[in-house]
Amino acid sequence: MRKFTDDKEYLEKELKHALPRVQCLEMSIEHMTGKLVNES
């Protein structure tokens, strides 16, 4: 079962029009602080 569609024409059209507006970011966590919680 596909979650969306198998229509290649539709996918290519969407990528052609939407791709210029897409921005991807990658984050790397160098240090994380937090409180150790003891849940009961």
Q: 11 and 5 in contact (C-beta within 8 Å)?
A: yes
Within a domain: 32:
no
Residue 2 confidence (pLDDT): 64
Residue 1 confidence (pLDDT): 56
Residues spanned by the domain of 17:
1-25
Residue 35 confidence (pLDDT): 79
Within a domain: 18:
yes
d(CA 29, CA 27): 6
Digit-coded pLDDT (tens) for 1-40: 567 788 899 989 988 999 889 999 999 999 888 878 887 6
Within a domain: 13:
yes
Domains of the chain: total: 1
pTM reported for the whole predicted model: 0.42
